Amino acid sequence: MKPTTLANLSQLKKEKRKFATITAYDASFAHLFAEQGINVILIGDSLGMTVQGHDSTLPVTVEDISYHTRSVRTGAPLAFLVADMPFMSYATPEQSFENAAALMRAGANMVKIEGGDWLCDTVKMLTERAVPVCGHLGLTPQSVNVLGGYKVQGRSDDAAQKLLNDAIALEKAGMQLLVLECIPVELAKRVTDALEIPVIGIGAGNMTDGQILVMHDALGITAKPPKFAKDFLKETGNIRDAIRLYIEQVESGAYPDQAHSFN
C-alpha cells in the first residue's frame, strides 16, 4: 500500500471516477475509515461543534487542529490528510506561514482555508513554500456571523458568478483542491467543469468530483443534521458497513440524490 497523493486525486478526476472523503478527529475512527477505503481525511474545524460542543467553529485553535491531526495521522498513516486552518489563523499571509507549518508538522499533507479571491496571495505564497492549499467556497462556516447563519450560498446570478470567478482565481494562484459547501447543484457542476483540480462537494449535489461528510452526520450522531446529510448507519447497523455504503453511493453517484441536494 502506498500513501495517497494529490496526483492520485487528479487522476480520478481525469478518469471521471468519483471519490468519498470524510472528517475524522481521532486515531480509532481514522483507522476504521482508512480500512474501509477512505483515502482522504479532513481534520475539520467542525470539531469545534462535533467534539468540543460549541455552536460554531470560531473557538477552534491551531493547537486544537494540530492535536487532532497528530491523532488522525497515527490511525491512518497512508491517508491524504487535509487540516483546517481555524478562524483568524490565516488573516495575513505571514500568520498563515507559521500556522500552516504547525499543521504540516503535525502530519497534514495540505491545509484548507475558507474564502474567495482575497486569499490568492496567501495561496500563492503558501504553495511556493511547499504547503499545498485546499480552498473552501460557498457556505464558509467561519463567516457565519457575516453570512447571518448557515444558509445555502450562490443562489443569485451575481453570487454564482462571483463564486465561479473566485474558484478560477484561486486555482490560478495555486490552489490544488476545492471544497464547495451548500450551493445549488448546477453551480457546483459549473465550477467542477471549469477547474482542472479536483472539487469536493458537501451539500453541493452529485456532480462534483468527490464528496465529503462530517463523520457525525454520516453516522447519525448529529442532533439536527443538515438537509444534505445522510445517516448511513441507520441503513446498515454497523459503522464499517455504513462507511462502505457511503463510499459505494458516492462512487456510483447515488449519494447525494435530489432529496439531499439544493436546486
> Which strand (E) or helix (H) includes residue 147?
helix 144-147
Q: How many helices (H) and strands (E) does the chain have?
A: 12, 8
The end-to-end CA distance of the chain, in Å, is 40
When CB distances to ligand KIV are compared, the closest residue is 44
Residue closer to ligand KIV by CB (options 44, 115) is 44
Strands (E), 63-116: 80-84, 110-114
Active-site option among 35, 181, 186, 196:
181
Residue closer to ligand KIV by CB (options 41, 160) is 41
Written as nine digits, the cell of 167 is 474558484
Written as nine digits, the cell of 114 is 475558507
Binding site for ligand KIV (CB under 6 A): 23, 42, 44-46, 84, 179, 181, 202, 212, 214
**Cα–Cα distance, 204 to 183 (Å, whole number):** 5
**Cα–Cα distance, 243 to 251 (Å, whole number):** 12
23 neighbors 141 (Cβ within 8 angstroms): no
How near is the Cβ of 57 to ligand KIV at its closest, in Å? 6
Sign, Cα dihedral of 37, 85, 147, 188: negative
Task: Check the annotation: does 18 bind a ligand.
Answer: no
30 neighbors 79 (Cβ within 8 angstroms): yes
Collapsing DSSP to helix, strand or coil, 190 comes out as: helix
CB atoms within 10 A of CB 145: 9
Task: Check the annotation: does 84 bind a ligand.
Answer: yes
How near is the Cβ of 67 to ligand KIV at its closest, in Å? 15
Task: Check the annotation: does 94 bind a ligand.
Answer: no
Task: Check the annotation: does 46 bind a ligand.
Answer: yes
How near is the Cβ of 109 to ligand KIV at its closest, in Å? 16
Catalytic (active site) residue 35: no
How near is the Cβ of 32 to ligand KIV at its closest, in Å? 18
How near is the Cβ of 7 to ligand KIV at its closest, in Å? 22
For the annotated binding site for 3-methyl-2-oxobutanoate, the residues are 45-46, 84, 112
For the annotated binding site for Mg(2+), the residues are 45, 84, 114
Catalytic residues: 181
For the annotated binding site, the residues are 45-46, 84, 112, 114
